[in-house]
Structure 1
Amino acid sequence: MRQNSTFQNLLGKISREEFFEQYWGKEFLFLKGIDRNNYLPISENELNSFFSNSRLSYPYITLFSKGKPLNFEEYRNRKMGINSTIVDIDKVFTLLQKGYSLTVNSLEQMEPNLAEFCHNLSHELKTKIWTNVYITPCERSGFPQHTDHHDVFALQLSGKKTWTIYPEKKDPLQITLEKGDFLYLPKNYPHEAKTGDSHSVHLTLGAEFATYSDLLYQLWKSVRSQSKFAKRLDPNNARLTPTEIENFQKMVMELMQENKLHDFKKSSQSVNVAQGPFTSNKRFHDWLSTEQLSNNQTLCKRKTVNWELKKKGKMIELQFEDKKIPFPIFLEEFLTSLCQEKPFKLKEINSKVGDYEAFKIAKLLLAEKFLEIKK
């Protein structure tokens, strides 16, 4: 699979292989911004634009103090109605100045650029990705020591924040994140964070990787409609009979064949990935440009797409993310040209494919978010 890695942008000098071998699910990882080109998926300007929206709502916007939520009535926008969930953004920032901490939950659902980032990262890591932004004034503590039931990737967007982490069988360790710094914590890793003489704005990426229990869930889904598993157990016996045990073990072993287990894992990952939203920040523009597509427009493959062309008899599949688009095998050369890294124009592609068919394929791949129109 050809790769342009969003995840590698997060890791900087640390390779993906090193991360999964040494840190993933095992140990924390702290990286200074300079070691990862200070890469951040959202800017201060984008956050400023976000907060200019007068219709932000609760619980996406939540205020806290010492880990406890502030009653929403304190910042509800009553001008929008007594039952409105719209927040009064002026009150929100007044309370922030008074020392309350502000959390923006699931920011990727409202910020298209961040949504695309999460979408790409989700497909790379085969798991659901979501985001929260935490804004904390000076000299404030966030949540008391706690653990999260998912992996955490923290990126410092502005100011600085000191994290205290609690490695197993080791003394607590303090790490101060400054703008551009990165911290990874596996799930269930105890931690707490607070600010000192500086404010803090940091982005947290949550990642919930598939587990063995997900395999069991996929196994259950696969058998619940099968008649042999719908066979009733004898209600007259409190315990399973030897025959029932033998039959059940035999049916389960048939399901536990290696190829089926691979399918269960893929299904678990696909479910996780599908839960992540993707909102284009150019949806109308993309649709209009696709409708008006011409030979002179410049196209390019979306940068973070991982793809593969796979031959299947008289067909060839373009596989990317969780999609498989079949084409006749004679289109292989033309498809390879569309997958190139450099921007191109359809008229520049040397192919025996006619204009009508070329436009049809290009429009399909634009709609499927494989290609994009370059300005």
Structure 2
Amino acid sequence: MSMARTEAQDSGARQGAGILESRLTRLGREEFARDVWGRTAVLTRGASDFSDVFSPGAVDELISRRGLRTPFLRVAKDGSTLPESSFTAPAGVGATVADQLDDTALWRAFEDGATLVLQALHRTWEPVAELVSALGTELGHPVQANAYITPPQNRGFDAHYDVHDVFVLQIAGSKRWVVHEPVVPDPLRDQPWTGHRAAVAERAAHVAPHLDTMLRPGDVLYLPRGWLHSARAQGEVSVHLTLGIHVRTRYALAEHLMRAALAELAADPSMRRSLPLGTDAPDVLTDLVRERLLAAVADADPAPLFHRAHRSGARPAPLGPLAQLAALHRLGPASPIRLREALAPRLDGARLFTRVGYLDLPADDVAPVARLLDGRVRTAGDLGLPLAGRLLRAGVLVPADR
């Protein structure tokens, strides 16, 4: 039986609550982690009013006025993706861009029953970007966002599963969702549903669904990776957001551990030696290599690779170059500054790692930089003007309003 939450809630965010509780599930982070995360599908009725995040008007603006190019949009019909050439065209005089979205072609495809998929909305629509950034910080896993716009009585894709967890936020219209339990629990990124088509089709066609429900504006559906799902719009246009959580797994940690161990073995001249001439089977040396590999794994530190992967999994908050230059030019002791958001900062000794690179700090600068990591607004004088200027130039600090 699926979990569903139907308590009434004011459309505004609960003061002091995280994104999970205030906008998506009405569950606090610890409760969500204990009872739901990666375990089961959860439907939350009336979770929030998402009109401040996305809307049908936003769809029209993005398609007709923002000059988007592929791959920021794809088009699907009857379970298949249409070729990009069918909905793109040159941008016209003064812009030698041949693959901008053609709004007329898209209108014709949409009117003919195609689903429009606006991809990577966390890069193109600021309210979605802010929601994604906050959720990613709360979960500790990278998050991205797509929007699916489906005409009445149509579907975009057949039953399938994703290799990432998702939150489905119904924005406009209604859509019927049919959800089945996994055929491949917790699939890795290189284990897509296309490698299990027959099993997916068999379960979707012949096994009773775990959940068969209608999503309406404000409803939120959470699906762990691997859970089968298909959806069909009802009597009006459906718009929903999918927030994809690209989870970091134990397997990925094992990969980091092995890479660190192999790097240690690569520095050992005895392990770089050639096998004897005429060696058809490595049995004689396997025990020795296994022993050295196990010792290297025992000594390896996967943390640097783990943190590097975490930093590369998302982008920092936007930075305006003109505002940044103006802040640098007028920098004074009273200038308000703060740490750039979504930077994933980490101090390791005197080295500051962030999503925009790393900085080696003089010993006297380590303590003031450590204080910055709480994200509070400070003044350049608190840090010292030379350090504040260096961090502004590096894109680590940004100007702040008091």
Q: CA deviation at 1:121?
A: 4.6
Q: 1:152–1:301: structure 2 CA closer, same or farther, 3 Å change rule?
A: same
Amino acid at match of 2:293: V
**1:134-187 deviations in whole A, cap 9, x for unaligned?**
111221122111111222222223223221101259831113323333222122
Correspondence for 1:255 = 296
Q: 1:269–1:77: structure 2 CA closer, same or farther, 3 Å change rule?
A: same
Q: Residue 109 of structure 1 contacts residue 277 of structure 1 at CA under 8 Å; is this kept in 2?
A: no
Correspondence for 1:153 = 167
Q: CA deviation at 1:282?
A: 3.2
Q: 1:364–1:197: structure 2 CA closer, same or farther, 3 Å change rule?
A: farther
Task: Say if 2:368 is the partner of 1:328.
Answer: no
Task: Say if 2:145 is the partner of 1:131.
Answer: yes
Tell which has more relative contact order, 1 or 2 (C-alpha 8 A, sep 6+): 1
Amino acid at match of 2:385: F
Task: Say if 2:259 is the partner of 1:221.
Answer: yes
Q: Tell me how many residue pairs correspond in the alignment.
A: 354
Task: Say if 2:88 is the partner of 1:51.
Answer: no
Q: 1:302–1:86: structure 2 CA closer, same or farther, 3 Å change rule?
A: closer
Q: CA deviation at 1:256?
A: 2.4
Correspondence for 1:171 = 208
Correspondence for 2:26 = 13
Amino acid at match of 2:169: L
Amino acid at match of 2:45: K
Q: d(CA) in 2 for partners of 1:214 and 1:52?
A: 40
Q: 1:57–1:294: structure 2 CA closer, same or farther, 3 Å change rule?
A: same
Q: Residue 335 of structure 2 contacts residue 379 of structure 2 at CA under 8 Å; is this kept in 1?
A: yes
Q: d(CA) in 1 for partners of 2:318 and 2:99?
A: 25
Correspondence for 1:246 = 287
Q: Residue 166 of structure 2 contacts residue 242 of structure 2 at CA under 8 Å; is this kept in 1?
A: yes
Q: d(CA) in 1 for partners of 2:346 and 2:287?
A: 44
Task: Say if 2:247 is the partner of 1:209.
Answer: yes
The partner residue of 1:190 within 228, 234, 254 is 228
The partner residue of 1:42 within 37, 44, 53 is 53
Q: 1:119–1:270: structure 2 CA closer, same or farther, 3 Å change rule?
A: farther
Amino acid at match of 1:130: Q
Correspondence for 2:331 = 293
Tell me the secondary structure at the aligned position of residue 248 of structure 1: helix
Q: CA deviation at 1:278?
A: 4.2
The partner residue of 2:273 within 231, 244, 267 is 231
Q: d(CA) in 2 for partners of 1:147 and 1:139?
A: 22
The partner residue of 1:144 within 154, 158, 161 is 158
Q: Residue 6 of structure 1 contacts residue 304 of structure 1 at CA under 8 Å; is this kept in 2?
A: no
Correspondence for 1:22 = 35
Q: Residue 25 of structure 2 contacts residue 220 of structure 2 at CA under 8 Å; is this kept in 1?
A: no
Q: d(CA) in 1 for partners of 2:254 and 2:387?
A: 40
Q: Residue 160 of structure 1 contacts residue 176 of structure 1 at CA under 8 Å; is this kept in 2?
A: yes
Q: What TM-score do the two structures reach when normalised by structure 1? A: 0.76
Q: d(CA) in 1 for partners of 2:102 and 2:315?
A: 26
Q: Which moved more, 1:57-66 or 1:192-201?
A: 57-66
Q: Residue 97 of structure 1 contacts residue 137 of structure 1 at CA under 8 Å; is this kept in 2?
A: yes
Correspondence for 1:105 = 119
Q: Which moved more, 1:318-327 or 1:43-52?
A: 318-327
The partner residue of 1:64 within 58, 76, 82 is 76
Q: Residue 116 of structure 1 contacts residue 278 of structure 1 at CA under 8 Å; is this kept in 2?
A: no
**1:48-95 deviations in whole A, cap 9, x for unaligned?**
543343532233222221222234443332564999212211331343
Tell me the secondary structure at the aligned position of residue 256 of structure 1: helix
Tell me the secondary structure at the aligned position of residue 286 of structure 2: helix
Q: 1:89–1:269: structure 2 CA closer, same or farther, 3 Å change rule?
A: farther
**What is the alpha-carbon root mean square deviation over aligned residues?**
4.0
Q: What TM-score do the two structures reach when normalised by structure 2? A: 0.71
Q: d(CA) in 1 for partners of 2:319 and 2:168?
A: 24
Q: d(CA) in 1 for partners of 2:76 and 2:223?
A: 23
Amino acid at match of 2:220: F
Amino acid at match of 1:138: P
Q: d(CA) in 2 for partners of 1:219 and 1:304?
A: 26
Tell me the secondary structure at the aligned position of residue 144 of structure 1: coil
Q: d(CA) in 2 for partners of 1:33 and 1:272?
A: 32
Q: CA deviation at 1:11?
A: 4.4
Q: d(CA) in 2 for partners of 1:342 and 1:217?
A: 36
Q: Residue 300 of structure 1 contacts residue 374 of structure 1 at CA under 8 Å; is this kept in 2?
A: no
Paired-residue identity, %? 20
Tell me the secondary structure at the aligned position of residue 295 of structure 2: helix
Q: d(CA) in 2 for partners of 1:291 and 1:6?
A: 36
Q: 1:333–1:130: structure 2 CA closer, same or farther, 3 Å change rule?
A: closer
Q: Structure 1, unaligned stretches of length 5 or more?
A: 350-356
